[in-house]
Amino acid sequence: MTRLPDLLPSGTTAVPVACVSAAGWAAIREGLSQRHQAYCAAVDFAPKAGRIVLLPGEDGRVARVLFGLGEPGGDRLVAGKLPGLLPPGAYRFDDGQDAGFDAAEAALAWLLGSYRFTRYRQAPLSPRLVAPDGVDAAEIVRIASAVAMGRDLVNTPANDLGPAEIEAAARLLAECHGAAVAVTKGEALARDFPMIHAVGMASPRAPRLIDLTWGDDGAPLVILVGKGVAFDTGGLDIKPSAGMLLMKKDMGGAAAALAAADMVMASGLPVRLRLLIPAVENAVSGNAFRPGDVLRSRAGLSVEIGNTDAEGRLILADALALADSETPDLLIDFATLTGAARVALGPDLPAFFTEDDSLAEAVMASAKAAIDPVWRMPLHAPYASLLESKVADLNNVSGGPFAGAITAALFLRRFAPKTKAHIHFDLYGWNPTTKPGRPEGGEVQTARLVFDLIKRRWPKWA
C-alpha cells in the first residue's frame, strides 16, 4: 500500500513557500528584493490560483516559492497542487501568510496531493513539507494516510482485489487498531444473508460479509456499511464494454467506509464502531441470479429482480437489516450506487439522503469543515410506489428512467426502518481528472466528512 511521506518536524531547514492571495500580493511583492521583484515581472507572475514562481538565490538554488491562492471563495485544497509543481526537497509555509490562509487545510491538501498509486510502478521523489506551527500534525497525517489507503483499494484492479482481498484489508486495519473481525461466508452466508450470497455466487471468488467491531460496549454505537462489489459486470443484464472500464471502483463505498473507520479508530474517538462490508463480485456464469428471480432477504422481505445490474442495493439491504437490528445511534452507508446521482450532481458531488433534518444540517456543516462536499437529495416517499412488484414485496428497480437515485435510497430505507439517524451516501468514488489534492483515480468521497461528523457528535472530552 502507498505510504505517504510524513510531515517533517518543525524546525527542519526548508525553502519557504509564501501562499499569495490577490488581496495580499501587493504587500508581499513590496517585501521582495528588487531582483526578485524584477524576476516576478519577467515571468509575469500573478497570484492566480495554482500559479507558482521559484525565486532563485545567489547560488542559483531555489530560495523562496510564491504560490497563488486566487480569489476568496476558491478551491480550499489549492495547495494540493504544490507537490506536483515543486522539485524534490524540504519546504515550509512562510511566516506572515495572508489572513485567509489556513495552515492546517494547506498541509492536508499538500499530503492529499502527494498521493501516487505505486503498486505497479515507482513514483518519482516528492517534495516534503515541514509541519506548520500550531496545527495538529498527527491528525493531518492520520487523515491523509487513511485516504491513501482507501484510494489504493479503489485503484487496484479486480484481478488483484476481490472479496478475499477486501477482507484482508479489513483484517489489517483491525490488527492496527485492536479491533475484531468476523466473516460470514458459504452456507452461513446463504442462510443468514441470502441476497449477498445470490449476488456473489456466480463468481469463483466467494462472497462474504465482513464484520469489524471496535470500542467500548457502553459507548454510542456507530455502524458504517460499505458496498464492496469488487467488480461489476452487470450480471446477466451485462454492461457494455465501456460501462465496465471503471467497474473496479464499484467497491468505492467499502473503501470509503474503511478509510472513515481508520480515522475514527486511529483518533480514539469515544464510540463503539461496527463496520459491515458485503464483499462480492457480480459475475456471469450458469448459476448467476437472473432477471425475474425472487430473492428472500435477511429482513424477510421478498425482492423481485428487475435488473441484475442493480446488485449493490441488494447486498447493502442484507447488511443494513443486520445493522438496523442493533438500533445504532448513527447508521451510515456508502455506495457507488446509481448513475442517476452522477447525472444530477456530477462526479465531484456525492448525493446523500436522510429523513433526519438536524442530522442533514450536521452533515452539511461537516462537509464544509472537512472540504468534502455533498448535496442532500429528497427521500420523496410517493416514489416508493415505483418499486412495487406484482409477485414480491418490492422490485429492486423502478423500471423507468426517472428518479433513480431516490428510488434506490427508498429501497434501502425499507431494510433499516427503525434507525432514524441513517445517512445514505451515493458516491462516484473516482476523480475523472486531477484537481488540487485530488489526483485522477480512486477517491474515498465522504470519508473525511464522516470522521468530522462523528468527532463533532461525540467529542473526546464529552
Confidence (pTM): 0.97
For residues 22, 24, 27, 29, the Cα torsion angle rounded to the nearest 10 degrees is -50
Spatial separation of the C-alpha atoms in residues 63 and 268, rounded to whole Å: 41
Whole-number pLDDT of residue 462? 59
- H-type alpha helices, 89-217: 103-114, 137-155, 163-177, 187-192, 194-200
State the Cα–Cα distance between residues 374 and 446, nearest whole angstrom: 8
CA distance 278 to 194: 11
- Residues in the chain predicted with pLDDT less than 50, given as ranges, are none
Cell representation of residue 153: 483499494
Write down the pLDDT at residue 72: 86
Identify the pLDDT of residue 1: 67
HSE at residue 331, side-chain half, CA atoms within 13 A, is: 28
Q: Alpha-carbon Rg of the chain, whole angstroms?
A: 24
- Kindly tell me the burial class for residue 240, based on how many C-beta atoms sit within 10 Å of its own C-beta (0-12, 13-18, 19 or more): exposed
Cell numbers for 284, please give them: 456471469
pLDDT for 314:
98
DSSP 207-257: -EEEEEEES-TTSPEEEEEE-EEEEE--TTSPPPHHHHTTGGGGGHHHHHH
Q: pLDDT value at position 263?
A: 98
Cα 258 to Cα 391: distance, rounded to the nearest angstrom: 37
- In angstroms, the CA 177 to CA 95 distance is 37
What is the pLDDT, as a whole number, of residue 5?
A: 75
Instruction: Name which of 156, 154, 144, 177 is nearest 451 in CA terms.
Output: 144
Indicate left, alpha or beta for 143 from its phi (over 0: left) and psi (-120 to 50: alpha): alpha
Amino acid at 343: V
> For strand 351-353 and strand 430-431, is the pairing parallel, antiparallel, or unpaired?
unpaired
Catalogue all structural domains in the chain, each as residue range(s) with its CATH number: 15-135 (3.40.220.10), 157-457 (3.40.630.10)
Phi, psi torsion values for 448, nearest 5 degrees: -70, -35
Q: What is the DSSP letter of 452?
A: H
Residue numbers annotated as active site: 239, 313
List the grid coordinates of 92. 515550509
Residue 165 and residue 231: Cα distance in Å, rounded? 12
Query: CA distances (Å), 150 to each of 157, 214, 447, in order?
Result: 13, 19, 9
